[in-house]
Each structure stands twice: as C-alpha cells, then as structure tokens.
C-alpha cells in the first residue's frame, strides 16, 4: 500500500502548503546557445555540468501571496486542485494546482510541487495522469506549463511524462536571464492530435 494518497484540495489545506519543501539540487543546468539572427534565429539547449551543484531551497516556497492565488483558484469551478497526503501523519507533501484557460482551450499547470522527502514515490506521475484525464474530459487541446533552465530535474520529469519543449523566453524573469542561467522554458502535452 502506497504511503501517500492524493485527494481534492480543501480550503483548510492552503495554509499547510507552506510546510512543503519543494526545492531541488542539481549538478547540471541547461545552457542556452543562441543561433542565427533576426527571423532566422534559434536556440539550442546544452546540458552543462556545474562545478558546484545548484540548490534552490526556498525559491519555491508557498508565500502568503502565492497561497492567496491558490485560494482564489480553488474557489473557481474550472480548476483541478489536489494535495498528496502522507498516510501515517496526515502531512501534506504535495500539491497540484491546475486551471482551465478557456481562451486558449488549454490546461495551465500553475503548481505541481512535492516535498523533497516525497519524491520518487510516483506521486508526480499520478498527478500528471490526473491532469491529462481531467483535460481530456473537458475537451481541452493541450496542457501547458513553465519551468526554468536551472531546474533540470523538472525538465527531465516532464520529458518522461511525454511533454515537449514548446518555447524559450530569454527575458521572462529579468532582462538578464541569459546571464543568470535562469531562463523560462515552456512545455506542452497535446491532449488531442494536431
């Protein structure tokens, strides 16, 4: 019997999300190489070994503002909101925060986060499968999400789940993203044939 269960999120769960430790450590990053110029410009991702592992500990914490955003989405009827709960303790160790975007006929994954101690148990895979089923039941065309070039573990997870890299935004966070090695990567999972 799995040590975790996944259930719908309740309003009282939102404050408990702050206890999740969703950071990561990686010994590689994805470097962006710009190719060409103008309209014939492109990019290439190159996985590069770091001299010192990169750790994003508190970078993904559920701040009061983020918990407020989640509460607002939970109150809507166009969302899939779930939590993963440790069966022995009742502690919330993961969250899935998904919203239907009617104007694009897509699913947007705002958050799929697991506590560092809850990884490798199949929870993320199950949450992605729930999202795929939910999106197909609603007749949506694709699932979309964003991650960063310094979160190689997440990028590899999305590839294993069948997502495809759909785009790169080199100025999504700041005008210096290329220098900071934190560039936005956009992913897509088609829910129906193109």
Alpha-carbon dihedral sign for residues 30, 67, 142, 135: positive
Tell me the per-residue pLDDT of 96-147, one tens digit each, with 9 for 90 and over: 999 999 999 999 999 999 999 999 999 999 999 999 999 999 999 999 999 9
Task: Of 164, 167, 168, give the one whose Cα is nearest residue 182.
Answer: 168
Buried b (16+ CB within 10 A) or exposed e, 66-93: bbebbeebbeeeebbbbbbbbeeeebbb
Q: Tell me, what's the pLDDT at 180?
A: 61
- Measured CA distances, 111 to 35, 40, 52, 79 (Å): 32, 34, 27, 12
pLDDT(61) > 80: no
Q: Tell me, what's the pLDDT at 147?
A: 95
Domains of the chain: 4-190 (3.40.630.30)
* 8 Å CB contact between 124 and 111: no
Q: Which residue has the higher pLDDT, 57 or 120?
A: 120
Q: What string of H, E and C letters represents the secondary structure of the chain?
A: CCCEEEEECCHHHHHHHHHCCCCEEEEEEEEEEEECCHHHCEEEEEEEEEEEEEEECHHHCCCHHHHHHHHHHHCCCCEEEEEEEECCCCCEEEEEEEEEECCCCEEEEEEEEECHHHCCCCHHHHHHHHHHHHHHHCCCCEEEEEEECCCHHHHHHHHHCCCEEEEEECCCCCCCHHHHCCCEEEEEEECCCC
pLDDT(179) > 90: no
């Amino acid at each position: 019997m799995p040590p975790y269960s996944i259930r719908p999120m309740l309003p009282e769960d939102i404050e408990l999300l702050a206890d999740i430790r969703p950071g990561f450590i990686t010994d590689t990053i994805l470097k962006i190489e710009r190719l060409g110029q103008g309209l014939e410009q492109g990019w290439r991702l190159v996985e590069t070994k770091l001299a010192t592992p990169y750790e994003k500990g508190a970078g993904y914490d559920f701040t009061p503002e983020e918990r407020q955003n989640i509460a607002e989405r939970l109150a809507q009827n166009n969302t899939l909101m779930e939590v993963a709960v440790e069966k022995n303790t009742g502690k919330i160790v993961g969250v899935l925060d998904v919203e239907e975007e009617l104007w694009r006929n897509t699913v947007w994954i705002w958050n799929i986060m697991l506590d560092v101690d809850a990884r490798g148990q199949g929870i993320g895979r199950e949450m992605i499968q729930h999202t795929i089923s939910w999106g197909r039941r609603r007749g949506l065309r694709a699932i979309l999400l964003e991650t960063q070039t310094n979160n190689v573990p997440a990028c590899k997870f999305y590839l294993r789940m069948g997502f495809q890299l759909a785009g790169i935004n080199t100025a999504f966070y700041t005008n210096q993203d290329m220098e900071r090695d934190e560039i936005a990567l956009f992913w897509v999972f088609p829910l129906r044939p193109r």
